[in-house]
Structure 1
């Protein structure tokens, strides 16, 4: 019985290593690994042993006999990959190399700034060396970055990757210093004095703007802010979200845009079984939104969303998903093209909520006086540039679309980290394999830009850590940690309320306790003060137990 990968997986490659017959690709070392939309099981060589299902941290691999109707397209998607990349030789893939060991074995202290996937994968790679201790800092009281605050609440399977991070946290030599902001609570110079190396994995924290008139009206926001709002991110919990209108327009058609459209149109009773933030669930229960229009300036062939996300959207129950091709033709006979043609041929049901994928249109301005009331769109056409790449050019034909909210979802840009070089074009820190200079390194989006998937951060971290270890072996980091005083001692003296691993575990337990009472995976704490209080109570209980045991 063959198995099938059924979603945009984490690309952690655990299943690749577990497979005894080398039938899951692309694998580490192969073209496309960590940048492919997903991994694929070869149905011709899969022996149905189920080893991959046990290894998969997000439950993405299922038997072909257990596929739901909505998952059936993934059967073909897996098989089609091997029509293009047959892997006929069946050579061993991803051999485990001998564990590297430091040539100068002595205690090493590394600070990782940023507790998202890139930061935690970096810590994991570093902690493979018993000489290394890692402190992971983050300005928020909770870790996991976009896994916690970016993955849509109805994608609970993806959030199971938190189990990978929990295993990393429990390794000897790992320590959290959460709720600590570099630049506010501790300076970059103070980190350099206390650590042999500092790895920055702070991500790309700003959204790209549309740069059209009316963009600053109330009712105009970034899709990222809305994602943070419904995921309970402390920075966005007070976002003004007015769902009292029938239509929302999302400009941009990447995966985030599809996430937003899906969440805004999903039955709130279904979302009530997820970890969606309470304030968002209450607002969605009272929502008047009937249609989400997802606008892309280019054609269906150039859309940024991935095929797995398109298949997932097309399979929504109780929601009409249709495509307005803007006069374009869908070229090709692959699964993506056929799904788009099928969506374009659908007849909407007026009784249902609706998601419309609109192509070849671009916003000219947002309309309204006191708040957003609509958007003026211009029709576009694709014109090849000098290199033959199709570019969207406005035709001059315009239309007005009424909407109570307009969300921009046209990408991210990195902001400069004080004290680090910055490339304003790419929004990244210039580097060589993650090395900014000996002792200073980058990983994640601050290194490569806002590209890739969850598992991409693993290969990215591996490259950065290799550069760091090269510098250690070359003796370039000796004598850097000149200040012996522990950073936690300094922060405590300054009155900074630090959340350590025990504190994070206390927050996690409290969220799960509240979730269990409500029949949900968790009910997130969104108030930083409440998070800090919950974490501090764990510290007080620990001190009381220690005091009692010493009597």
Structure 2
């Protein structure tokens, strides 16, 4: 019997558990450990609340979780309740699937002013993650600056621009829905260092901006390259740029403007005790497509700055870490004998949710190659005994189903659930309190 511990219950964790089932069959026991009492990681707290179809992938993870040889071990903090070294003594393999939930700093003067928020924190706020439920971002306007030209930046801009009615059917949490309903932001500026051909936005998400009730997307035709150059793009990028061209050709007249500011990078955030403006420098591209400043600067009024420039995996004591790349130091997923990394914890914040599936199978194959036979380690029963001795209040998947049922029962009209935004609330729901 192989005993495998996976740290993190998001897509990378569950795809790896599924891969271990297919690789080892009945000869494996997998424990998926998470510090939260609720599973699914990025699906629950990262995917936009108005993208319910994407969240549906959690049903696949639930099917894995309900099998006999995979178990969810929630409300257990690795590094606090138990160490990586201790897990290594109990399990044949320990797989780090912790994702990259920490924001990269904006890295300009003034980025510590109140009102500068990383996208992980802002997204966590409107998705009800317990770490960020009390964020209270400044939404009194008149402007907001979103730094980045990727899908996360699009999510943030779209959430800021939507009406309350446009959130029908979503699982946005009530505190965010109420806060956004009172906001007075009339301009959301999307800053990107490079041009339309270099955006990391997918066509579907970009197209959603064209369907908003009270907001219009604004693109300056002068920023668009000659139409003939679109032929050099791959089909997906070509479709995305076609949306930008349509926005430029048909400017709308709605109360909120979502402005695409290309060839622009923030160089400072200014204000008297809070964010009041962003200083931006114009950029140009060199022959290799890298952006560099031109020396021309201007100011954008803003009370809120959301930085969507990437993520980092938080270090874990005792695990080699690559500071430059913001992930665990590894070679093709191997960190040390018996210790592996998968998903964003392995490769950094790149790829989609689905990218984690082949990544999980690759790690399962490596574990199989490294563990030819039974090592005699105890795995699950030894973990249970240790956590019980330390009085750790573990949450099982069945417990999570009780929490979920309570969230569904508490949903406002038209919403799939009302998430609990505090760990104590989650634990009370588990206990039927």
Normalised TM-score (structure 2):
0.93
Question: 2:217 touches 2:251 (CA, 8 Å); kept in 1?
Answer: no
TM-superposed CA distance for 1:219, in Å, is 0.7
1:431 to 2:330 alignment: yes
Q: Which residue of 2 aligns with 1:123?
A: 17
Normalised TM-score (structure 1):
0.74
- 1:519 & 1:341 partners in 2: Cα distance? 35
Q: Which residue of 2 aligns with 1:211?
A: 107
Structure 2 gaps of 5+ residues are 232-237
Choose which of 379, 385, 396 in structure 2 pairs with 1:489.
Answer: 385
1:528 to 2:423 alignment: yes
Aligned residues: 423
Q: Which residue of 2 aligns with 1:70?
A: none
- 1:182 & 1:347 partners in 2: Cα distance? 51
After TM superposition, the structure 1 stretch with the greater mean CA deviation from structure 2, 256-265 or 156-165, is 156-165
What secondary structure does 1:203 align onto?
Answer: coil
> Which runs of structure 2 are paired with 1:465-476 in the superposition (5 Å)?
465-473=364-372, 475=373
TM-superposed CA distance for 1:272, in Å, is 4.1
- 2:111 & 2:221 partners in 1: Cα distance? 26
Q: Which residue of 2 aligns with 1:323?
A: 219
TM-superposed CA distance for 1:512, in Å, is 0.9
Question: 1:326 touches 1:360 (CA, 8 Å); kept in 2?
Answer: no
TM-superposed CA distance for 1:317, in Å, is 4.1
Choose which of 440, 444, 449 in structure 1 pairs with 2:348.
Answer: 449
TM-superposed CA distance for 1:370, in Å, is 1.2
Cα-to-partner distance string for 1:365-416 (whole Å, 9 max, x where unaligned): 11101110111111111122xxxx1121211211111111011111112332
Cα-to-partner distance string for 1:480-519 (whole Å, 9 max, x where unaligned): x26885212321232211111111011111111112x533
Question: How much is the aligned-residue C-alpha RMSD, in angstroms?
Answer: 1.8
TM-superposed CA distance for 1:424, in Å, is 1.9
After TM superposition, the structure 1 stretch with the greater mean CA deviation from structure 2, 308-317 or 268-277, is 308-317
Structure 1 gaps of 5+ residues are 1-106, 539-551
> Which runs of structure 2 are paired with 1:252-291 in the superposition (5 Å)?
252-291=148-187
Question: 2:101 touches 2:120 (CA, 8 Å); kept in 1?
Answer: no
- 1:428 & 1:219 partners in 2: Cα distance? 27
Question: 2:195 touches 2:223 (CA, 8 Å); kept in 1?
Answer: no
Question: 1:325 touches 1:359 (CA, 8 Å); kept in 2?
Answer: no
Q: Which residue of 2 aligns with 1:339?
A: 243
Question: 1:438 touches 1:468 (CA, 8 Å); kept in 2?
Answer: no
What secondary structure does 2:49 align onto?
Answer: coil
Question: 2:129 touches 2:421 (CA, 8 Å); kept in 1?
Answer: yes
Question: 2:103 touches 2:310 (CA, 8 Å); kept in 1?
Answer: yes
Question: 2:116 touches 2:305 (CA, 8 Å); kept in 1?
Answer: yes
- 2:99 & 2:118 partners in 1: Cα distance? 17
Q: Which residue of 2 aligns with 1:348?
A: 252
Q: Which residue of 1 aligns with 2:235?
A: none
TM-superposed CA distance for 1:462, in Å, is 0.4
What secondary structure does 2:407 align onto?
Answer: helix
Q: Which residue of 2 aligns with 1:30?
A: none
Question: 1:242 touches 1:404 (CA, 8 Å); kept in 2?
Answer: yes
- 1:286 & 1:138 partners in 2: Cα distance? 35
- 2:381 & 2:151 partners in 1: Cα distance? 45
> Which runs of structure 2 are paired with 1:24-423 in the superposition (5 Å)?
107-128=1-22, 129-324=25-220, 327-329=223-225, 331-333=229-231, 334-349=238-253, 351-384=254-287, 389-423=288-322
The structure that has the greater radius of gyration is: 1
